[in-house]
């Protein structure tokens, strides 16, 4: 008797819909085991992670604040992944966008600059992210270099560059030697939507990005080109679509969105530039993109779900003394199960019995 | 024949006369772009409107490379190597050649002629986006793409499970009818077809061959590459042979007066 993995005759659409849910289910089971091993009650731990943050208004706002960069970056990444261009460097594009926008904030610090500062900061962030993402894209198109490696390596470059700036030229002189810039002026800060909360304009921008991406992918010819180039490259070439151009375009768009998310995060919730502005948003966004099946609406839901786990993780740290790193473990296990469950869309298990039994039936 | 329906005899229109040269290939030579490819050397042919030229030969004779050179998937250095309706096109992309009135049906239905996991309307958009009303100001007009699917279905008897299924769910014959149909519905000046009825059931094959004859009768120039000599005998006015990638001989074909009975 053998367990065999065989290819399906055609793509299973039931599995395609249900796979993220199965993956979440399996992750919850695995996490329960993990909590039990850590000596914590699995039921109450799961409650603190998933249920408790949904129960009070402050946590709900925090989920929206955390989901904003995740959704924005993941939508950009989904365009790349649909075109078979693997942008793994969104984290670096996020940081470079933050740096570029912060440059203007630092430059106009203390001067009586007008309200043009914030919009220009956002534009600078997006533009810098786009240009930074074009580096691995051009390397891929011109030299055939693996964009996975180049984009990932550039993350470290961006991280260290940011570190240098806040420890050196941009450090707040009145900041007691902490590696951070001075607090941004009000004109350089993202406005808050509700008085007294941290929910800011970035959340609205994230929703606009989701809407724009939905229209792009479903209704425009460019969106069609992106989808075909990834799904059937030879057919795309036959249709006259230039895959090099689309790689450059999708990298530029995802870099711009990551950079925009970066400057919004710095000019909004954080308020100044410092190392560690990102708890790995650029990498978590990859999980969000796949959990959301590379579909903008799916990404919105997946982003909110993962933000929920971020907030749940912070609360579990206080309520049950569970280390914050467990959140990262959860996200990693979730990605693992999502990819595993996705393979059942195209393949299935079959039990194959020994051939001896077949010959017994004849004669 | 046991196909569950009558297969109509394929008939060419009487009194078809070739007109002006619509596709001319001048001394085309092309290096292969993959290690197992075949080099094209000094290929020349001239195809007038209203006639069907068949290129016979088995796989590996360079017909894939010739198709790529004619379609624009591979560009030639000299623009005058491929001339479509009088315009030098060797350097033009496939979209630009389609704008000049050329249409192409490649050998591989799934993966080259269509994106297998995409719907028929999206596959209609694949080749029709630059030359029809399917795209307006960058937005896709789904009504236009669906109407192409409907027209192809009706004119070429495409059998399918629903109005707009995935390409991969159609049988080979029906998918080929759709692919040939979507190109013919564009009223092309030049149609280049590779292996039009390979792997296709007899009924669909008859429909496709009749469609090619009708297209030529309406004044288009049709180039058919096939390894089925019976097929070329049925529809081609002239036959050329490609043998290890050089165009060797051309025969003028006499139309057969009696059709052999099939069973």
Q: Which of residues 215-244 of A touch B (CB under 8 A)?
A: 219-222, 224, 227-228, 231-232, 234-240
Its pTM surpasses 0.90: no
pLDDT top residue among B19 and B246: B19
**What pLDDT score was predicted for residue A64?**
93
Answer whether residue B113 shows pLDDT above 90. yes
Which among B97, B115, B130, B139 is the top mutation candidate for probing chain A, defined by the most A β-carbons within 10 Å of its own β-carbon?
Answer: B115
Across residues A127-132, what is the average pLDDT?
Answer: 97
Q: What percent of chain B has pLDDT over 90?
A: 68
Contacts of B129 in chain A (CB under 8 A): 221, 224, 239-240
Q: Is B127 on the interface with A (CB under 8 A)?
A: yes
In sequence order, what are the beta bridge partners of B23?
B47, B84
Residue range A339-353, pLDDT digits in tens: 888 888 778 888 888
Residues whose CB is less than 8 angstroms from the CB of residue A207 and which lie 6 or more positions away in sequence, other chains included: A300
- Do the Cβ atoms of B40 and B28 come closer than 8 Å? yes
Across residues B187-199, what is the average pLDDT?
Answer: 94
pLDDT top residue among A123 and B57: A123
Residue range A32-85, pLDDT digits in tens: 998 888 888 888 888 888 888 888 888 889 999 999 999 999 999 999 999 999
How crowded is residue B107: how many other Cβ atoms within 10 Å of its Cβ? Answer: 18
Classified by CATH at the fold level, domain B30-252 comes out as: Rossmann fold (3.40.50)
Which among A219, A221, A236, A346 is the top mutation candidate for probing chain B, defined by the most B β-carbons within 10 Å of its own β-carbon?
Answer: A221
Q: What percent of chain B has pLDDT over 70?
A: 89
**For chain B, which residues make up each domain, given as ranges?**
30-252
Mean pLDDT, chain A, integer: 89
Q: CA-to-CA distance for A352 and A200, rounded, in angstroms?
A: 57
| CB spacing of B125 vs A221 below 8 angstroms | yes
Answer whether residue B241 shows pLDDT above 70. yes
Question: Tell me, what's the ipTM?
Answer: 0.89
- Confidence tier at B258 by pLDDT (50, 70, 90): very low
**What pLDDT score was predicted for residue A288?**
94
pLDDT top residue among A215 and A38: A215
Q: What percent of chain A has pLDDT over 90?
A: 53
**What pLDDT score was predicted for residue B250?**
52
Comparing CB atoms, the residue among B106, B116, B169 nearest residue A232 is: B116
Handedness of CA A150, A152, A157, A161 (dihedral sign): positive
What is the DSSP track for A269-323?
A: II-S--TT--SSHHHHHHHHHHHTTT-HHHHHHHHHHHHHHHHHHHHHHHHH---
Tokens 């600078």: give the residue.
Answer: A124
Q: Is B93 on the interface with A (CB under 8 A)?
A: yes
Residue range A254-308, pLDDT digits in tens: 999 999 999 999 998 888 888 888 888 999 999 999 989 899 999 999 999 999 9
Across residues B153-158, what is the average pLDDT?
Answer: 94
Answer whether residue A2 shows pLDDT above 70. yes
Torsion angles phi and psi, residue A18, rounded to 5: -90, -20
Residues whose CB is less than 8 angstroms from the CB of residue A76 and which lie 6 or more positions away in sequence, other chains included: A87, A90, A253, A254, A255, A256, A257, A258
For residue A50, the 8-state DSSP code is: I
Residue B239 DSSP SS3: strand
**What pLDDT score was predicted for residue A103?**
92
Q: CA-to-CA distance for A306 and B124, rounded, in angstroms?
A: 39
Nearest to residue B191, comparing CAs of B229, B218, B159, B158?
B218
Count of positions (residues) in chain A: 363
- Confidence tier at B13 by pLDDT (50, 70, 90): low
Contacts of B168 in chain A (CB under 8 A): 10
Torsion angles phi and psi, residue B45, rounded to 5: -155, 160
């Amino acid at each position: 008797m053998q367990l065999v993995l065989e290819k399906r005759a055609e793509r299973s659409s039931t599995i395609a819909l249900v796979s993220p849910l199965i993956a979440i289910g399996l992750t919850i089971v695995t996490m329960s085991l993990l909590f039990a091993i850590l000596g914590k009650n699995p039921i109450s731990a799961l409650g603190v992670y998933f249920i408790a943050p949904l129960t009070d208004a402050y946590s709900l706002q925090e989920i929206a604040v955390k989901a904003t960069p995740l959704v924005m970056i993941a939508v950009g990444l989904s365009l790349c992944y649909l075109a078979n261009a693997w942008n793994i460097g969104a984290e670096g594009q996020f940081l470079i966008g933050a740096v570029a926008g912060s440059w203007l904030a630092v430059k106009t610090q203390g001067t009586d600059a007008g309200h043009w500062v914030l919009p220009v900061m956002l534009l600078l962030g997006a533009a810098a992210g786009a240009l930074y993402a074009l580096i691995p894209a051009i390397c891929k198109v011109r030299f055939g270099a693996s964009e996975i490696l180049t984009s990932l390596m550039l993350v470290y470059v961006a991280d260290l560059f940011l570190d240098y700036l806040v420890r050196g030229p941009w450090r707040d002189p009145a900041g007691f030697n902490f590696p951070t810039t001075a607090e941004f002026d009000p004109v350089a800060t993202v406005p808050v939507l509700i008085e007294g909360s941290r929910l800011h304009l970035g959340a609205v921008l994230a929703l606009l990005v989701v809407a724009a991406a939905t229209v792009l992918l479903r209704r425009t010819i460019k969106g069609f080109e992106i989808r075909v180039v990834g799904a059937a490259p030879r057919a795309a070439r036959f249709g006259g679509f230039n895959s090099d151009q689309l790689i450059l375009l999708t990298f530029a768009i995802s870099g711009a969105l990551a950079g925009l998310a970066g400057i919004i995060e710095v000019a909004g919730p954080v308020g100044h530039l410092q190392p560690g502005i990102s708890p790995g948003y650029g990498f978590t966004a990859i999980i969000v993109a796949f959990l959301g099946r590379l579909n903008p609406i799916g990404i919105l839901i997946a982003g909110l779900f993962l933000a929920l786990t971020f907030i749940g993780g912070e609360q579990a740290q206080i309520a049950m003394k569970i280390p914050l790193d467990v959140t990262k473990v959860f996200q990693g296990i979730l990605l693992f199960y999502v990819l595993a469950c996705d393979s059942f869309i195209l393949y299935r298990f079959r039990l194959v019995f020994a051939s001896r039994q077949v010959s017994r039936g004849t004669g | 024949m046991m196909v569950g329906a009558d297969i109509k005899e394929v008939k060419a229109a009487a009194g078809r006369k070739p007109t002006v040269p619509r596709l001319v290939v001048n001394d085309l030579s092309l290096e292969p772009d993959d290690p197992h490819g075949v080099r094209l050397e000094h290929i020349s042919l001239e195809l007038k409107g209203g006639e069907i030229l068949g290129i016979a030969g088995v796989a590996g004779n360079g017909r894939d490379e010739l198709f790529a050179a004619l379609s624009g998937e591979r560009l030639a250095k000299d623009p005058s190597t491929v001339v479509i309706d009088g315009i030098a096109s060797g350097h033009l992309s496939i979209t630009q050649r389609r704008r000049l009135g050329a249409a192409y049906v490649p050998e591989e239905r799934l993966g080259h002629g269509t994106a297998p996991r995409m719907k028929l309307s999206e596959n209609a958009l694949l080749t029709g986006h630059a030359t029809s009303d399917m795209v307006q100001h960058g937005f896709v007009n789904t009504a236009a793409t669906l109407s192409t699917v409907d027209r192809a279905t009706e004119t070429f008897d495409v059998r399918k499970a629903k109005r707009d299924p995935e390409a991969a769910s159609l049988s080979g014959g029906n998918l080929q009818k759709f692919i040939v149909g979507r190109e013919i519905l564009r009223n092309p000046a030049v149609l280049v077809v590779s292996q039009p009825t390979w792997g296709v059931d007899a009924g669909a094959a008859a429909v496709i061959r009749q469609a090619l004859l009708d297209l030529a009768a309406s004044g288009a120039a049709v180039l058919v590459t096939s390894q089925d000599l019976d097929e070329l005998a049925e529809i081609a006015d002239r036959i050329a042979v490609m043998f290890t990638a050089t165009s060797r001989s051309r025969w003028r074909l006499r139309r057969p007066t009696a059709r052999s009975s099939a069973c």
